[in-house]
Structure 1
Amino acid sequence: MAKQTKPGSNTISKLRLSAGNLAAKAPFEGLVRLIADIVLINLAIIASLVVRVTQYLLTTPPGVSYNLNKTLQLYVREYINSTWLLTLICVVVFALSGFYTYGRFYRGRYKALIIIQAVSIAHLIFGSLVYFGEGFLNIYIPRGAFVISWILITSFLLLARGWAYLWNKVVSSERTKQQKPEDRKIQTVLVIGGAGYIGSALLPKLLEKGYKVKLLDLLLYGTEPIQEFINHPRLSVIQADFRQIDKVVEATLDVDAVIHLGAIVGDPACALDENLTIEINLMATRMIAEVAKGSGVGRFIFASTCSVYGASEEKLDERSALNPVSLYARSKIASEKVLLNMADERFAPVILRFGTIYGLSGRTRFDLVVNLLTAKAVVDRQITIFGGDQWRPFLHVDDAGLAILQVLEAPLPLVRNQILNVGSNEQNYTIRQIGEIIHTVVPDAEMVDASTDLDKRNYWVNFHKIRSMLSFEPRWTVEQGVQQVIEAFRSGEVLDYKDARYSNVKFLTEEGIFRLARRENGWAYQLMDQSSSGEKLIVDL
């Protein structure tokens, strides 16, 4: 049995917490910016002294004699004596203000405010040292030149940052115009939420196919789900919250496709905190998509769920009306809307509505029907069926990873802006039928019928579209998945299925990670309210 690490552990000595090439680029870019700032500071100081000398010469009354050479020598001496200290103070204050690290991702008025504040603090420190250290520092700078240098350094830095921003926008725009998504060879893939249940099953498939993978994940459950691949030469792991725009911007650099799996998953887990669910499942999804689109990444694969169909007595396909009965489902519908509304010739989202997942992966869950009932049969010798007549489509987690890989490698014109149910018609079962399948494998477990069932979901889903479009065929059956789970218990790979690490809602509750979402994001709440029954999301079906 592999050694298990504590969920949420931050002791990750083996992780390369960098974004591929960004790790090599960041120090170099920071050094270039530092040198450029030193040059700008000195140019500003020289310019301020020149302005002060010119002002002195122009304002000297006629008939008053002065020695131009002595005046120039005086100002040159003051420049030599003072510039090193002012430059040093400016560089230190700039570094502490994030000029060469996180501050590079600030934009607009906020960035200008940070620059003005940093230059002001640097001049305040310098002025204080000159004033109070007059007796031992031997530094003097004319007050007029001091004020002018503050204005010029601020102006030069603002102009330099503005020019760099405009230049990058022009270059990025031209690069995007020259290359359409379908013409772009996929070499590097960003997987957001890549250390989760599906992500840890997808990761080895991507690496086996030769892709470079950037994995952005908060690693709430530790590194165990991806431990086997930590040192893989084509894997870069970025431990971060995907709500942080600067981290998403970093991670999106130089990637050819984005696979967004990150979310609070499952009805009970989402119900713990509605605000946080909206922030993570919806608002972060829009931000990630906007960053990807702005970075010229055209391929965007989004993990949705068949739970969007809610409760229905009909056989459902991608054209069917949606009838969500949970916050989780509504958050996914709202996210689908956001992505499809963003679609154009250069941004092609693909929506994958997965069936109910089962089976083992790097981060196995035991809060899902097949895995949970199998665990109870093996450990508790009891299979408890609540209700039992509800239909569900089932899909092995390994097949979920396979479907994502097939969509990633499909010709973009074939899948762009498509909604695809992911599963197979043969694996539509009632909950009672799942219990009976498990009972045939574990015959000494008692079948128990519970009279109440609070879960209103009931949906039989048609998967003809993904089969005909991509020739997708699941490799696993429910029977094989049940046997896989049983073997995990017998081998000691799984010891306690009730451990919080195996349940989203238990882990999120016990770890107490929830923080209130910010209500000012009004658009998200409005869209959530609009994501109700009777809707159909149909794009190029």
Structure 2
Amino acid sequence: MRVLLTGHQGYLGSVMVPALRAAGHDVVGLDSGLFADCLLGPAPADPPSVDVDLRDVTEAHLAGFDAVIHLAALSNDPLGSLAPDVTYAINHHASVRLANIAKDAGVKRFLYASTCSVYGSAGEDLVTESAPLRPLTPYAESKVRVEDDVAGIADSGFSPVFLRNATAFGFSPRLRADIVLNNLVGVATLTGTVRVLSDGTPWRPLVHARDIAAAFCAALVAPTGAIHCRAYNVGIEANNVTVAQIADAAAAAVPGSTVALTGETGPDPRSYRVDFSAIRTAFEGYAPQWTVADGAVELYENYVRWGLTDELFTTRFTRLAHLQGLRGSGVLDESLRFLRIGAGHA
């Protein structure tokens, strides 16, 4: 299958490319290069790519593809809150526009990377895909809007599927340090203390980046009737954990580290536990392999192996700081467009 992967130079995309290739797909990337240089360790082998801002995609860019996997987004809640208009322009409007162009170009299958954070504050019960959506941030709200709008253009020739990923974790050659397990293991590695600013009680569903990649690979080849215009939670119930439990896993992975629950930011309203049974039923053989504990060990080993430093951790691998740095140095404008041709490409 010939697949266009948006965001191939991002945290998830850099893990998904080799998974798609291993499954026998012909992969082409599409990326503006915002995070191409966010590397820890050797650069991955990127596929042939289209170097274009998501907002500038044309039908010619999508001609000849059997499927589109759409990962590209501003994937960070603080970033979305800082620049909500840009978040909606990229995450919502450009994503819906991409889907429409894909349909016009004859693409049959459109896999959209949504998020379990659309459930917001859901309490203690396990939430299924039919649960009320209560997004609490511009990032989560943009995902809900895309699901609604893209579902509206589905027909017999254009099958979208919405993969609501749990919070990702795990090592990627293009690292993110601003997602919870990656962050806590990094802080422990650099300081010896797993520092949690909340009270540690909120629930989070977690899923390894490789298990997300496996879900997208499964969705590419699933029967159309199983995926057409449906949403699936991506993860496993065993990885529904509290923030305090995530902190304990990080401390267990980093020798000599301790946990400090400061509670200084108060309780986090985002708390939800997720039911993942639907994806196991729809995608035969899909079974996430990575536990939170295993992921914490993997992260620690790679942080040590590739020489993680405090400067890299707080700037290059933190989405908000990285983009602020690019804007401050005159590489990006206020709308996060590159001001110099080729500036975004590694």
Q: CA deviation at 1:250?
A: 2.5
Alignment partners' CA distance in 2, 1:441 and 1:224: 24
- Name whichever of 324-333 and 217-226 sits farther off: 217-226
- 1:285 corresponds to 2:285: no
- 1:479 corresponds to 2:293: yes
Deviations 1:510-535 (A, max 9, x none): 21135359xxxxxxxxxxxxxxxxxx
**Which secondary structure state, in structure 2, belongs to the residue aligned with residue 429 of structure 1?**
strand
Q: Mark the runs of 5 or more structure 1 residues left unpaired by the alignment.
A: 1-186, 518-541
Q: Is the 8 A contact 1:508 1:514 kept in 2?
A: no
- Report the AA paired with residue 190 of structure 1: L
Aligned with residue 325 of structure 1, among 122, 130, 136: 136
The TM-score normalised by the length of structure 1 is: 0.58
- Report the AA paired with residue 222 of structure 2: A
When residues 224 and 441 of structure 1 are mapped into structure 2, their CA distance, relative to the original with a 3 A threshold, is closer
**Which secondary structure state, in structure 2, belongs to the residue aligned with residue 479 of structure 1?**
helix
Identity of aligned residues (%): 32
The aligned runs of 1:387-402 (5 Å cut-off) are: 387-402=199-214
- Report the AA paired with residue 260 of structure 2: V
Aligned with residue 337 of structure 1, among 148, 152, 155: 148
When residues 516 and 197 of structure 1 are mapped into structure 2, their CA distance, relative to the original with a 3 A threshold, is closer
Q: Is the 8 A contact 2:150 2:160 kept in 1?
A: yes
In the alignment, what sits opposite 2:229? 417
Q: Is the 8 A contact 2:202 2:270 kept in 1?
A: yes
Aligned with residue 457 of structure 1, among 266, 270, 277: 270
**Which secondary structure state, in structure 2, belongs to the residue aligned with residue 228 of structure 1?**
coil
- Report the AA paired with residue 214 of structure 2: L
Alignment partners' CA distance in 2, 1:453 and 1:323: 21
In the alignment, what sits opposite 1:375? 186
In the alignment, what sits opposite 2:246? 434
When residues 514 and 305 of structure 1 are mapped into structure 2, their CA distance, relative to the original with a 3 A threshold, is farther
- Report the AA paired with residue 477 of structure 1: T
In the alignment, what sits opposite 1:189? 3
Alignment partners' CA distance in 2, 1:256 and 1:279: 26
- Report the AA paired with residue 461 of structure 1: V
In the alignment, what sits opposite 2:316? 501
Alignment partners' CA distance in 2, 1:437 and 1:378: 13
The TM-score normalised by the length of structure 2 is: 0.90
Alignment partners' CA distance in 2, 1:389 and 1:258: 38
- Report the AA paired with residue 262 of structure 2: A
- Report the AA paired with residue 515 of structure 1: E
**Which secondary structure state, in structure 1, belongs to the residue aligned with residue 34 of structure 2?**
coil
Q: What's the RMSD between the two structures over aligned residues? A: 1.7
Deviations 1:476-511 (A, max 9, x none): 111111111111122135334524221111111221
In the alignment, what sits opposite 1:404? 216
Alignment partners' CA distance in 2, 1:498 and 1:514: 24
In the alignment, what sits opposite 2:31? 217
- Report the AA paired with residue 506 of structure 1: A
Higher helix share: 1
When residues 323 and 412 of structure 1 are mapped into structure 2, their CA distance, relative to the original with a 3 A threshold, is same
Q: CA deviation at 1:273?
A: 0.9
Q: Is the 8 A contact 2:200 2:263 kept in 1?
A: no
Q: CA deviation at 1:297?
A: 0.8
Q: CA deviation at 1:464?
A: 0.7
Alignment partners' CA distance in 2, 1:408 and 1:223: 29
Q: CA deviation at 1:207?
A: 1.6
- Report the AA paired with residue 282 of structure 2: M
Q: CA deviation at 1:446?
A: 2.4
Q: CA deviation at 1:441?
A: 2.8
- 1:510 corresponds to 2:346: no
Alignment partners' CA distance in 2, 1:416 and 1:370: 33
Q: Is the 8 A contact 2:38 2:316 kept in 1?
A: no
Q: Is the 8 A contact 1:273 1:514 kept in 2?
A: no
- Report the AA paired with residue 44 of structure 2: E
The aligned runs of 1:201-212 (5 Å cut-off) are: 201-212=15-26
Aligned with residue 241 of structure 1, among 36, 43, 53: 53
Aligned with residue 270 of structure 1, among 63, 67, 80: 80
Q: Is the 8 A contact 1:315 1:459 kept in 2?
A: yes
**Which secondary structure state, in structure 2, belongs to the residue aligned with residue 219 of structure 1?**
coil
Alignment partners' CA distance in 1, 2:182 and 2:66: 35
Aligned with residue 298 of structure 1, among 108, 117, 139: 108
- Report the AA paired with residue 500 of structure 1: T
Alignment partners' CA distance in 1, 2:245 and 2:117: 19
The aligned runs of 1:134-145 (5 Å cut-off) are: none
Higher RCO, 1 vs 2 (CA within 8 Å, ≥6 residues apart): 2
Q: CA deviation at 1:222?
A: 2.9
Q: Mark the runs of 5 or more structure 2 residues left unpaired by the alignment.
A: 337-346
**Which secondary structure state, in structure 1, belongs to the residue aligned with residue 272 of structure 2?**
strand
Q: Is the 8 A contact 2:36 2:174 kept in 1?
A: no
Indicate the structure (1 or 2) with the bigger Cα radius of gyration: 1
When residues 326 and 441 of structure 1 are mapped into structure 2, their CA distance, relative to the original with a 3 A threshold, is same
Q: CA deviation at 1:252?
A: 0.5
